[in-house]
Amino acid sequence: MATELTWLGHSAFRLDTPGGKRVYVDPFLHGNPRCPESELEPERCDLVVLTHGHGDHVGDTVSIATRFGCPVVAQVELRAWLTRQGVPDDGLAHSPNKGGTVSVGGVAVTLTDANHSSSTADGTYAGEPCGIVLTLEDGARLYFAGDTNVFGDMSLIARLYRPDVAVLPIGDHFTMGPQEAALAIDLLGVIRVVPCHYGTFPLLTGTPEALRELVPDGVEIIAPAPGETVTL
């Protein structure tokens, strides 16, 4: 079975793994102006993974976890806050911190560094923001940078995890724009990139077209429309 990635607008993704698992990353569905109506109510979910605590990333996590009884992996402070919101207590099993890895049903989730901020909708400190490396059942590795600027230690992420695909924010204002994203691609050494966190709101002005103009030949910028699925 192939790996299928569906962009749900903003930084929300649905990932169908080679082993048949359905993973939601930063499932901001309701309230997301770019999420298709057909995607507002997930039909199933085996795992939710979060990069940080902002509402446009936590999104529908509590309702999804409650409905499907699926694990939620998030940085330890954020995961504790989610428990207080009704997500079943994980006994710290799904509450790593940066550098830590947990495995859920054959999918390994590793938290990496990210440069941003993180708090919940009620103002609670939600730990530090993170990037995520997902290692799938067939060994493929996807790096979700989360909300971040470019930083030199992306070269360490490349060295340690050798991602096959990078999912990078490009909208500017709250995250890196195309210029920094192009440098991130170079530091990560990836040739397949999925842009996100753009076009949701007027402030997010970066575009995939602008990014394509800044990367060398051989780098594929994969830019699905909201609701579109790409095979990786």
Domains of the chain (ranges; CATH) run: 4-224 (3.60.15.10)
Whose CA is closest to 101, among 185, 160, 156, 18? Answer: 160
Phi, psi for 30 (deg, rounded to 5): -65, 130
CA gap 116, 169 in Å, rounded:
12
CB count within 10 Å of CB 159 equals: 11
Q: Are 28 and 10 in contact (CB under 8 A)?
A: yes
Q: What is the mean pLDDT of each run of 10 residues along the chain (232 residues)?
A: 95 98 98 98 98 98 97 98 95 97 97 98 97 98 98 98 98 98 98 98 98 98 98 96
Parallel/antiparallel/unpaired status of strands 4-7 and 13-16? antiparallel
pLDDT value of residue 84: 97
Q: Are 34 and 200 in contact (CB under 8 A)?
A: yes
CA gap 20, 228 in Å, rounded:
19
CA torsion, points 166, 191, 226, 122, in degrees to nearest 10? 20
The letter for the amino acid at 41 is: E
CA gap 24, 8 in Å, rounded:
10
- pTM value? 0.98
pLDDT value of residue 1: 77
Q: Are 72 and 63 in contact (CB under 8 A)?
A: no
